[in-house]
Amino acid sequence: MTGSFLYSTVQCGTLENNHHEPVNKSAMTSRNFTLHLIFAIALILGQSLNAQSMHHFANARLILGNGDVIEQGSLLIRNETIIDIGPSLDIPTDAVFYDLGGQTIIPALVNTHAHLGWEAYGDWGSQYFTDENLIDHLYRHAYYGVGTIISTGSDEFEIANRVKLEQLRGNIKGARYHLSPGLGSPGGGPNMRFTNDPNFWGVNPVTDPEQAANTVRRLASEGYGIAKIWIDSRDELRGAQIKVVPEIYRSVLQTATDYDMRIIAHATTLADHKSLVNAGNRRFIHMPYDMAVDDEYLDIVRKNNVYIVPTLGMITKQEPYYIPAFKDPYFYDQVPQSVIDSLNSNYTPPAKLSVEAETLSVTHANNLYKLKDHIILGTDAGAVGDFFGYADHVELSLFVRMGMTPMEAIIASTSRSAQAFGLTNVGMLQAGKAADFVILNANPLDDINNTRQISDVYIRGERVDRESWRNIWTQED
């Protein structure tokens, strides 16, 4: 059995046809991944689907993603699409019936900030950016109920575009994959973990307004609808790089608007945030971390309907309440014991927070609360020791810890995240949208940690075979 066969087997969790060959871990780690073979096998297996059937999920609490709840209702899907949803529906007599007995359905999550392909669970680097690893990361998101993932600025484009195309062709499942090229000052861009990698493929440098505009035009002509721009220089760390100046990002933002390209800016200070919003930026990776947000900022954020990915998981690792992944059994689904042991032995517990750090952490929580109607989900997983899919649930918990209600946290992580990038097909349970949803054994409106009580995940109307994936991921090599 080759690595190729693994994906075709496990991806095919269908509603009627849910039997699977056991797959071994050595198949997964083999790097000689031959795509054409998976596709051939996927086509054969695909014929077993009963594509025309309707599927009726009854007796469920339906949390729609926009703030509405149907306490006891039905969801009707066919193929990849939600056909109808409501308290009582006209159900075709031949629809396949599922009595959910009071379980809760939420839309699959939409994660707008992660870095796919580099993480190898025990090691990390550009050498792991292969078709196989990238696809594995899509399935890891799907396993934890993330239906859509935007990978921001660190993808190797030949591989990434090949995987994306094959997913659009239906040959690869997992979370819906969106990639966004990165822009930054020459030599700048992501954190040193990436830029110190000898094979880092770099970002698209922007050096003056005209060149920056041409870069955006080129990316638009290549079909990219989303791009990331790093504003920070990170000079203190790396020396020579310069910060992207307002003349350049204004040019990027204006040109992107002309091409309907959505820019998301990495910026961490209040001053940069204000300047960027005034230049036309509407999406941020990171919120202002340096000081309390003020009325001037809140005013322009509200007037311009700005979306903000706060990446709380990244900034709370020194907090006394932080629980490292290796201590959380919910993470154990995706790694063997040896990885847990290695994370444990490499861990340095945080020192007691200084008075300044404590004050700053209160500021962060206050900022998040004031910005709560603009918050969207993003984890930065794959870049800084946060793990795919699992980190999404950590982030949801942090949203609520810092003052959002569970409903606000769910809206932020589903419909608002989708809106921020014009992903009109996902992020809500609504007739006509994609059948991407998560069935939970407990109500997340009672406790946000109940998003972890996953019974089943469906993406494109297909059940994700979580058990097979868990077996693969937890096996030692």
Helix (H, G, I), strand (E, B) or coil at 177: strand
Task: Assess 156 for contact with Zn ion (CB under 5 A).
Answer: no
Q: Which of 446, 416, 442, 441 is nearest to 428 (CA)?
A: 416
Contact 99, 91 (CB under 8 A): no
d(CA 254, CA 278): 12
Crossing angle of helices 390-401 and 406-413, rounded to 10°: 140
Q: Which residue has the tokens 């809206």?
A: 411
CB of 191 to Zn ion, least distance (A): 8
Mask for 349-388, x = binds Zn ion (CB under 5 A): -------------------------------x--x-----
Measured on CA atoms in the order 432, 18, 452, 315, is the torsion positive or negative? Answer: negative
With a CB cutoff of 8 Å and minimum separation 6, the contacts of 299 are none
Other Cβ atoms closer than 10 A to 267:
27
Look up residue 461 and give its two tokens: 């109307």
Q: Which is nearer to Zn ion, 339 or 391 (CB)?
A: 391
The residue whose Cβ lies closest to Zn ion is 380
Helix (H, G, I), strand (E, B) or coil at 79: coil
| Gyration radius from the chain CA atoms | 22
Tell me the β-bridge partners of 106: 438
Q: Which is nearer to Zn ion, 364 or 460 (CB)?
A: 364
CB of 266 to Zn ion, least distance (A): 7
CB of 152 to Zn ion, least distance (A): 6
CB of 381 to Zn ion, least distance (A): 9
CB of 182 to Zn ion, least distance (A): 10
Q: Which is nearer to Zn ion, 380 or 456 (CB)?
A: 380
Q: Which residue has the tokens 């020396």?
A: 239
Helix (H, G, I), strand (E, B) or coil at 187: coil
CB of 380 to Zn ion, least distance (A): 4
Other Cβ atoms closer than 10 A to 47:
7
d(CA 433, CA 111): 17
Q: Which is nearer to Zn ion, 108 or 383 (CB)?
A: 383
Tell me the β-bridge partners of 439: 105, 456
Q: Which is nearer to Zn ion, 380 or 436 (CB)?
A: 380
CB of 163 to Zn ion, least distance (A): 19
| Number of shown-chain residues binding Zn ion (CB under 5 A) | 2
CB of 194 to Zn ion, least distance (A): 9
CB of 189 to Zn ion, least distance (A): 10
Q: Which residue has the tokens 């000052």?
A: 185
Q: Which is nearer to Zn ion, 392 or 462 (CB)?
A: 392
Q: Which is nearer to Zn ion, 56 or 243 (CB)?
A: 243
**Exposed, middle or buried, 127 (CB in 10 Å: 0-12/13-18/19+)?**
middle
d(CA 356, CA 311): 21
d(CA 157, CA 219): 12
Cα distances (angstroms) measured from residue 250 to each of 46, 206, 210, 302 = 48, 12, 11, 20
Q: Which is nearer to Zn ion, 105 or 138 (CB)?
A: 138
CB of 54 to Zn ion, least distance (A): 40
CB of 420 to Zn ion, least distance (A): 16
Contact 35, 162 (CB under 8 A): yes
Helix (H) or strand (E) holding 45: helix 35-46
Q: Which is nearer to Zn ion, 383 or 428 (CB)?
A: 383
Continuous H helices in 86-130:
none
CB of 93 to Zn ion, least distance (A): 50
Cα distances (angstroms) measured from residue 461 to each of 26, 79, 131, 151 = 30, 6, 24, 23
Q: Which is nearer to Zn ion, 272 or 333 (CB)?
A: 272
Q: Which is nearer to Zn ion, 268 or 430 (CB)?
A: 268
Q: Which is nearer to Zn ion, 145 or 182 (CB)?
A: 182
Instruction: List residues near Zn ion by CB under 5 A.
Output: 380, 383
